[in-house]
Amino acid sequence: MPALIATIPIPRDLPLPLPVPEWLLVVCLVVFFLVHILFVNLMVGGSVFVVVAEWMGLKNKRWDALAHEIAQTVTVNKSLAVVMGIGPLLCINLLYTIQWYSANALTGHAWLLIIPLVIVAFLLTYLHKYTWDTWAKGRKKTLHQAIGITAMLLFFFIPVIFLANVNLMLFPSEWEKVRGFFSSLCIGNVLPRYLHFMAASIAMTGLFLAGYFGRKNADISHLDDFTCPELRRLFYKVCAYVTLGQFALGPLVLFTLPSDGITTQVYVIIFSGAAVGLLTLWLLFGELRRDDTRIGSRYWPIAALFSIVVFGMGSGRHVYREAALAGHKAAIKNRTERYAAALADFNKNLAAAPAPAGQSAEQLFMNCAVCHAPNVKLVGPPLTEIAQIYAGNPEGIVTWAKAPGKKRPELPQMPPFNHLGEASLRKIAELMLEKGATSK
Amino acid sequence: MDFPSFYLDHLAGGRLIIGLIASLHVLINHPLAVGAYPLLTWMEWWAHKNNRPDVDHLAYRITFVVFIVTTTVGAMTGVGIWLSTSLFAPFAIGSLLRVFFWGWFLEWLVFISEVALILWWFLSWKKADKPEKKRKHIKIGVALSIMSWLTMALIVAVLGFMMKPGEWNQTRAFWDAMTNPLYLPQLGFRTFFAVMTGAVFLWFSSFFFTKKKGALNPDPRRLREWIIYRLSHVVLISLLGTYAFGTWYWNAVPETMKANSSVALLTQEFMSWHRQFQTLLGWTLIAFLMVGVGGLDRSSMIPRWALLIPTVLSIWLIGHFERAREFMRKPWVIGEYMYSNGVHKDELAFLQSEGLLKHATYVKHREITESNKVECGQDIFMLACSRCHSTTGLNGVIEKLTAMYGPDKPWDSAGMQLFIKGMHQTRTFMPPFPGTDAEAGALVAYLQQLRTHPQTLPGAQSAGIVIAPEALKPSKIADSQPTL
């Protein structure tokens, strides 16, 4: 079916080897990406907690103080999210050069918008954080809340752009349908993945804040009406219930994934991850049942188990990606090799062919014919005119051609032709005089 | 050829966007990071040594501005250079990453530490309330200053070895770049330039922070005079360095140009930039000199707006410097390896013999016919020209051709075709045309139509892609396709 075949673009890969072994790049991609996404989670989730707590603070001041405290973490996590994003970007550029850049180009407007949107979102989070005490009442407070909400909404939107790209790169057969960023959202399963990511952001931030406020040297003296165990319980709760919800969202993501990359291996990895997730959840709910003196004693085991779950999901996603793109990668490799072979053949024949014995004056003159016609003014003066000026003086043409000046105001200045060499220029000059004299 | 062409027609293909993002990045990085960090650390140290909480508080307030700007616009424009290059020249950035991977990886590690240190330094400033804590805090500032200088030193090397023709594949390419005759003068020039402009930035911001009396600022006038007096010294000393390294750079350029470029026009064009660089350098330094000398003695005589003059000049100078530096690379994007339109040096003759349309991925037709000629020409424009030229906008082909052939008479298609084939000889900063004669003819047909019916050319980001079947025998197609 030629019509179907035509819809899958098979480009050639760059003819350069990877700078490091592929397996190392894969490990770096999976690990660096998870570190990056952790900070992104804390940034996005943090902005939600800030907005919600500030809103609750309108009725009870203690929530406002808590919101302010959380806002301090968002601005740090956002910087780390950016800087830790560079490593995985480096890896994905190398491992999926063709697929990644193609997705970027197809969603280009949105991709470019990432830069100003992130800058604005970051500036707003700073503004929100540093005007907390000064814009505390009346209309100013409303404005303050609006700034927080705007920053949060930007943080909601920016991941969609990245998600659209990591999704689109998986399905080359769909590229031909794409007409800009929004149409790319209809491909694959962007929405379920997005919900899964947002839930993870809330859950991870909950876990992070449970540890942050529960740590030994946590100074919560300015959060008058809260106690450490209370905060710990609160954020544990958020983490636990949202993670419970992930047991609905996770399968939704899995079952809406296009079948391209679904293999037994993907299932095994994802379900093992989910099993560890269940264990984590059981520990988490166990923590919630403990009394104030003992809540939090299992924080690190829980965090470690969460890391295993996340690592499992990250690996599963890589295995899916590899399986989904296996055919495309093989076809690219094939085409790249065929092209390289044809190119090598061609260059071998070219090298074997007898070296052309210096260009003839006629061939060299082609460089000039572009602008100088026999007897009409093209870009420069015609040959007949040149022959008059330089009659019997080919050396004059050579000198001029090496470093032309500007004589005629109505014509563009001639570029220098030093690079053709003295001998060639001399040959050209003689031919020019000959042609100029004969064409009338 | 192998990537969908992101294209912004009116903006010369979109290169302007990379340029703007990169210039903004340099304009923040040099004065606010490389220049300001060591000066602010020095202020903190001096305040600690002489027990001047007002100086410490001033340094803290300026650091606040630096912190906000560098961790938002500064960081994101740095990433932005990469994101935008991925769109406009994926073949180039993709190749560069494979070739210079370790340079970039190393730079990333240094960048992580820079970000961690600025967060740590600024956010722990007010918590360092005891002398021993303060001493430790000052050390963070020192480490930050070193790291931020190091990111610049590494990136300049990466830029250098991108330009160094043909030598990257030999084992020590990175050190080659560092031993490039332009590396040290360039790095020295940037370093002193950063300190000089950083000092003026501190000076400028101190006007805003020394207006009112405060608990930590009992005598704002004394504080302002103190900072201006000291910063004038910094300006004058770093001015000498900028002058010395700028001159070294200026003298080293002709030699390097001779070695790097056998092409007269390129050298000629570059040398005119080069002369402008000298003039600009002169005026910029004079402006800084006047401000610096004025600040030494009569600090009250230097009004706030006067500082804007050297600032504007220095923005101009560095912008010019970066443009000239980039220009030197033409017609290559990686010296002697890849042309600016993504065609490899070693595939040029092959493509000229076989044709672009046959081997490109995203084209509408493989064979040129009389009826599809203009469409083919448009695809060829996108493949061969669009990375630098727009159709009718900035650096537009029609504008260039009008300058050559005149606006009022018809253009001779045969002459244009001849010009396209020999263009790289007359416009040596342009790559050779990478297609067959028939393809040059199709391009001319498109250009002629564009002249009479100017129309914006949309990029893949809005028009999507079209994939003509690969020109292969049917049996081969079957085994080259993925099974989906």
pLDDT per residue as tens digits for the range A322-343: 999 999 999 999 999 999 999 9
Contact A102 B3 (CB under 8 A): yes
Predicted local confidence at residue B256, as pLDDT? 62
Predicted local confidence at residue A1, as pLDDT? 36
In a shared domain, residues A211 and A327: yes
Distance CA B78, CA A115 (A): 10
- What's the gap in Å between the CA of B49 and the closest CA on chain A? 30
Dihedral sign from CA coordinates of A56, A57, A60, A65? positive
In a shared domain, residues B138 and B226: yes
Q: Is residue B457 part of a domain?
A: yes
B residues 115-174 closer than 8 Å to A (CB): 115-116, 119, 123
Considering only alpha carbons, which residue of chain B is nearest residue A97? B94
Q: Mind spelling out the 3-state secondary structure of A53-101? A: HHHHCCCCHHHHHHHHHHHHHHHHHHHHHHHHHHHHHHHHHHHCHHHHH
Q: Is residue A356 part of a domain?
A: no
Predicted local confidence at residue A221, as pLDDT? 81
Q: Residue B163: which pLDDT band, with cuts at 50, 70 and 90? A: low
Q: Is residue B477 part of a domain?
A: no
In a shared domain, residues A244 and A386: no
Chain B residues near residue A19 by CB distance under 8 angstroms:
97-99, 101-102
First CA to last CA distance, chain A:
62
| Rounded mean pLDDT, A387-391 | 87
The model's pLDDT over A92-134, given as tens digits with 9 standing for 90+, comes to: 999 999 999 999 999 999 999 999 999 999 999 999 999 999 9
In a shared domain, residues B292 and B352: no
- Name the residue facing A339 among B105, B359, B466 (closest C-beta): B359
* Mean per-residue pLDDT over chain B, rounded: 85
Distance CA A423, CA A428 (A): 9
Is a pLDDT exceeding 80 seen at residue B315?
yes
Identify whether the C-beta of residue B167 lies closer than 8 Å to the C-beta of residue B332: no
In a shared domain, residues B120 and B253: yes
In a shared domain, residues A335 and A384: no
In a shared domain, residues B150 and B292: yes
Q: Does A32 touch chain B (CB under 8 A)?
A: no
Q: Is residue A366 part of a domain?
A: yes
Contact A112 B17 (CB under 8 A): yes
Identify whether the C-beta of residue A107 lies closer than 8 Å to the C-beta of residue A62: no
A residues 256-285 closer than 8 Å to B (CB): 260
In a shared domain, residues B354 and B322: no
Chain A residues near residue B90 by CB distance under 8 angstroms:
97, 101, 104-105
- What's the gap in Å between the CA of B71 and the closest CA on chain A? 7
Q: Is residue B234 part of a domain?
A: yes
**Count of domains forming chain B:** 2
Chain A residues near residue B3 by CB distance under 8 angstroms:
11, 98, 101-102, 105
Q: What is the CATH number of the domain that holds B413?
A: 1.10.760
Tokens found for residue A92:
């994905």
Tell the burial category of B370 from Cβ atoms under 10 Å away from its Cβ (0-12, 13-18, 19+).
Answer: exposed
Identify whether the C-beta of residue B21 lies closer than 8 Å to the C-beta of residue B77: yes
**Count of domains forming chain A:** 2
Predicted local confidence at residue B300, as pLDDT? 67
Q: Does A340 touch chain B (CB under 8 A)?
A: no
Q: Does B471 touch chain A (CB under 8 A)?
A: no
In a shared domain, residues B395 and B463: yes
In a shared domain, residues A369 and A309: no
Q: Which residues pair with B390 in a beta bridge?
A: B396
In a shared domain, residues A330 and A385: no
- What's the gap in Å between the CA of A417 and the closest CA on chain B? 7
Neighbours of B408 (CB within 10 A): 6
- Helix ranges, B328-389 (H): 348-354, 356-359, 373-380
Q: Is residue A393 part of a domain?
A: yes
Predicted local confidence at residue B90, as pLDDT? 94
Contact B3 A105 (CB under 8 A): yes
Predicted local confidence at residue B473, as pLDDT? 43
The model's pLDDT over A171-220, given as tens digits with 9 standing for 90+, comes to: 999 999 999 999 999 998 999 999 999 999 999 999 999 999 988 887 88
- Name the residue facing A93 among B76, B97, B361 (closest C-beta): B97
Q: Is residue A118 part of a domain?
A: yes
Predicted local confidence at residue B263, as pLDDT? 53
Q: Which residue is associated with the tokens 């690079």?
A: A419
Q: Is residue B478 part of a domain?
A: no
b/e per residue A84-122 (b: at least 16 CB within 10 A): bbbbbbbbbbbbbbbbbbbbbbbbbbbbbbbbebbbebb
Predicted local confidence at residue B483, as pLDDT? 43
Q: Is residue A397 part of a domain?
A: yes
Least confident of A287-301, B76-90, B166-180: B166-180
Q: Which residues pair with B265 in a beta bridge?
A: none
Q: Residue B40: which pLDDT band, with cuts at 50, 70 and 90? A: very high
Least confident of A367-381, B12-26, B153-167, B168-182: B168-182
In chain A, the largest separation of any two C-alpha atoms, in whole Å, equals 109
Report cis status (omega within 30 of 0) of the bond before A15. Answer: no
Chain B residues near residue A126 by CB distance under 8 angstroms:
68, 72
In a shared domain, residues B228 and B323: yes
Q: Is residue B3 part of a domain?
A: no
Identify whether the C-beta of residue B146 lies closer than 8 Å to the C-beta of residue B117: no
Residue B444, domain extent = 345-472
Distance CA B27, CA B2 (A): 34
In a shared domain, residues A223 and A171: yes
Q: Which of B295, B322, B339 is the last residue of a domain?
A: B339
Predicted local confidence at residue A359, as pLDDT? 75
A residues 9-28 closer than 8 Å to B (CB): 9-20
Tokens found for residue B327:
């220009």
In a shared domain, residues A122 and A189: yes
Q: Is residue B481 part of a domain?
A: no
Is a pLDDT exceeding 90 seen at residue A65?
yes
Q: Which residues pair with B339 in a beta bridge?
A: B332
Q: Is residue B130 part of a domain?
A: yes
Tokens found for residue B336:
């002697």
Radius of gyration from C-alpha coordinates of chain B: 27
b/e per residue B311-345 (b: at least 16 CB within 10 A): bebbbebbbbbbebbeebbbbbbbbebbbbbbbbb
Contact A8 B481 (CB under 8 A): yes
In a shared domain, residues A100 and A183: yes
- What's the gap in Å between the CA of B111 and the closest CA on chain A? 7
Q: Which of A314, A342, A370 is the last residue of a domain?
A: A342
Neighbours of A392 (CB within 10 A): 8
Among residues A208, A266, A276, A268, the alpha carbon closest in space to that of A246 is found at: A276
Distance CA A163, CA B462 (A): 19
Q: Which residues pair with B396 in a beta bridge?
A: B390
- What's the gap in Å between the CA of A55 and the closest CA on chain B? 26
Give pairs for A338-347: CB < 8 Å, separation 24+: A338/B480, A339/A12, A339/B359, A340/A15, A342/B350, A343/B346, A343/B347, A343/B350, A346/B349, A346/B350, A346/B353, A346/B354, A347/B346, A347/B349, A347/B350
Identify whether the C-beta of residue A384 lies closer than 8 Å to the C-beta of residue A391: no
In a shared domain, residues B380 and B459: yes
- Our CA angle for B33, B37, B42, nearest 5°, is 160
Least confident of A224-233, A270-279, A318-327, B13-22: B13-22
Among residues A244, A247, A236, the alpha carbon closest in space to that of A207 is found at: A236
Contact A371 B426 (CB under 8 A): yes
Predicted local confidence at residue A164, as pLDDT? 96
User: Which is more confidently placed, B167 or A153?
Assistant: A153
Radius of gyration from C-alpha coordinates of chain A: 33
Q: Is residue A51 part of a domain?
A: yes
Contact A180 B461 (CB under 8 A): yes
Contact B87 A105 (CB under 8 A): yes
User: Which is more confidently placed, B330 or B288?
Assistant: B288
Is a pLDDT exceeding 60 seen at residue B368?
yes
Q: Which of B339, B356, B372 is the last residue of a domain?
A: B339
Q: Is residue A347 part of a domain?
A: no
Predicted local confidence at residue B169, as pLDDT? 54
User: Which is more confidently placed, B221 or A99?
Assistant: A99
In a shared domain, residues A289 and A416: no
In a shared domain, residues B331 and B352: no
Q: Does A248 touch chain B (CB under 8 A)?
A: no
Distance CA B110, CA B108 (A): 5
Percent of chain A's residues with pLDDT above 70: 98
Chain B residues near residue A122 by CB distance under 8 angstroms:
71-72, 76
Residue A429, domain extent = 361-438
Among residues B339, B371, B62, the alpha carbon closest in space to that of B208 is found at: B62
User: Which is more confidently placed, B192 or A435?
Assistant: B192
Q: Does B367 touch chain A (CB under 8 A)?
A: no
Q: Is residue A348 part of a domain?
A: no
- Name the residue facing A111 among B72, B87, B466 (closest C-beta): B87
Contact A19 B403 (CB under 8 A): no
Predicted local confidence at residue A62, as pLDDT? 92
Q: Does B20 touch chain A (CB under 8 A)?
A: no
User: Which is more confidently placed, B364 or B317?
Assistant: B364
Q: Which of B302, B319, B339 is the last residue of a domain?
A: B339
Q: Is residue B2 part of a domain?
A: no
